[in-house]
Amino acid sequence: MTGAAEALGISQPGISNLLSQLERQTGFRLFERLHGRLVATPEAELMYREVDTVVRGLDHVTQTVVDLQNKQAGQLQVASQHSMSFGFMPKMIAKFAQSRPDMNISFQSQYSSKIQEWVLSGLFEIGVCELPILYDTLHAYPLHVETRIALPKDNPLAEHAVLTPHLLRDQPFVVMGPDHILQRRLRDAFDSAGVPLQARVHSHLFKNLLGFVKEGMCVALLDRFELEFDHDDRFVTRRFEPEILMDMVVITSATRPLSQVGKEFLQLLLAELQPYKADGTPLTRAT
């Protein structure tokens, strides 16, 4: 009794009164006097375990609030299209997580239409995908990225700083499917130059395209995210004229607010993407 009174900063009679009130409310005795000492009853022991669980839960909630205030916890939910998922995005997330050791991370790579569905449904807070935007309930930060020709390092065309459809006339290409924007723009460039495009291999992932280049089979048109984070010395890159841009976009939900972690990651992401914007203008939300 004396120790409890000191711990709570009230008088010993006050402790006795509180115990009496609790016994009346519960309808059972909490303590028995045994050899001059108060001993908790089995009912009191069970009640204590339940109360202790609740108190520990409240302590956990308090600590979670402190972590969120200190930006140490929370959950980061990001999805990106494939070319960013093997180098750029893991590096970004690792940089962001350095000062947030308790942060949970959910990251997936997927096709652009699925990424938009995920952000729309709330499965992910932030997405990076290819245009066009399919839903009017998404905030969009457009990003147009330079593409380059990747070719085997021993290809004779590597001596040129800039490659054109005429120079690439007889080169076999590995290309995306016919509906992909880069494939359509590449074919348009060759058609405008009156040069046939030699499409030898068709695939569905930029990583696959670069794999065929490394094996010396083909050349390919790829965006900077795929090329700059692959340090294999079996290929080189050259500019292509006419210039072809990859139309990309950072998306968030227009109907659901971002978490604090999401807001901070979005700001870092936009800053890190700025150097990739082909026209150099600020990367801002489309109106």
249 and 166 in a common domain: yes
63 and 106 both lie in a single domain: no
Q: Do 147 and 222 lie in a common domain?
A: yes
Domains contained in the chain, number: 2
Tell me the pLDDT tens digit for each residue of 248-264: 999 999 999 999 999 99
Co-location of 158 and 273 in the same domain: yes
What SS3 class is residue 96?
helix
Q: Which amino acid is at 198?
A: Q
Residue 136: pLDDT over 60? yes
Mean pLDDT of the chain: 91
Q: How high is the pLDDT of residue 66?
A: 63
Q: Is 92 exposed, middle or buried (0-12, 13-18, 19+ CB in 10 A)?
A: buried
32 and 92 in a single domain? The answer is: no
pLDDT at 60 over 70: no
- Asked if residue 262 and residue 150 are part of one domain, the reply reads yes
Query: Are 56 and 172 members of one domain?
Result: no
User: What CATH code is carried by the domain that includes residue 38?
Assistant: 1.10.10.10
Do 190 and 117 lie in a common domain?
yes
What CA–CA distance (Å, rounded) separates 137 from 106? Answer: 22
Question: Are 199 and 175 in the same domain?
Answer: yes
Domain that holds residue 24: 2-69
Q: How many whole angstroms separate alpha carbon 207 and alpha carbon 86?
A: 9
Q: What angle do CA 137, 138, 144 make, to 5 degrees?
A: 145
Q: Is the pLDDT of residue 70 over 60?
A: no
State the pLDDT at residue 30.
Answer: 87
- Specify the pLDDT at position 36: 78
* Residue that is last in its domain, among 69, 101, 120: 69
Q: How confident is the model at residue 63 (pLDDT cuts 50, 70, 90)?
A: low
Residues 22 and 118 in one domain: no
Residue 205: pLDDT above 70? yes
51 and 188 assigned to the same domain: no
